[in-house]
Structure 1
Amino acid sequence: MEGPYLIEFPKVGASDIGFISIAECPQQIPFEIKRTFWTYYTPESVLRGRHAHHRTEQVLVAVAGRIIVTTELSNGEVELFRLEDPHVGLYIPPYVWHTMQYSHSAVQLVMASLPYNAEDYIRDHSEFQRIWKS
Structure 2
Amino acid sequence: MAGITNANLNSIDKVELINIPKISDPEGRGNLSVVENNTLPFEVRRVYYLYDVPSDASRGGHAHIALEQCLVAVSGSFDVVLHDGKNKKIIHLNKPNKGLVIPSGIWRELENFSSGSVCLALVSAVYDESDYIRNFESFKLFKGG
CA distance, structure 2, for counterparts of residue 24 and residue 77 of structure 1: 31
CA distance, structure 2, for counterparts of residue 107 and residue 132 of structure 1: 31
Greater fraction of residues in strand? 1
Runs of 4+ displaced beyond 3 Å = none
Q: CA deviation at 1:16?
A: 2.1
CA distance, structure 2, for counterparts of residue 46 and residue 16 of structure 1: 36
Unaligned regions of 5+ residues in structure 2, if any?
1-9
Counterpart amino acid of residue 54 in structure 1: I
Q: Among 95, 99, 106, which residue is 2:109 paired with?
A: 99
CA distance, structure 2, for counterparts of residue 95 and residue 84 of structure 1: 24
Q: Which residue in 2 is equivalent to 1:55?
A: 66
CA distance, structure 2, for counterparts of residue 132 and residue 73 of structure 1: 8
Unaligned regions of 5+ residues in structure 1, if any?
none
TM-score normalised by the chain length of structure 2: 0.86
CA distance, structure 1, for counterparts of residue 32 and residue 68 of structure 2: 24
TM-score normalised by the chain length of structure 1: 0.93
Q: CA deviation at 1:124?
A: 0.1
The alignment partner of 1:44 has SS state of: coil
Q: Among 68, 79, 93, which residue is 2:79 paired with?
A: 68
Query: Once superposed, what is the RMSD of the aligned Cα atoms?
Result: 1.4
Q: Which residue in 2 is equivalent to 1:119?
A: 130
Q: Among 98, 117, 135, which residue is 1:88 paired with?
A: 98
The alignment partner of 1:71 has SS state of: strand
CA distance, structure 1, for counterparts of residue 66 and residue 143 of structure 2: 15
Aligned residues: 132
The alignment partner of 2:54 has SS state of: coil
Q: CA deviation at 1:112?
A: 0.5
Counterpart amino acid of residue 93 in structure 1: P
Q: CA deviation at 1:104?
A: 2.5
**Does residue 129 in structure 1 map to residue 140 in structure 2?**
yes
1:23-53, Cα deviation, whole Å (9 max, x unpaired): 111x211111100000100001101101000
Q: CA deviation at 1:71?
A: 0.5
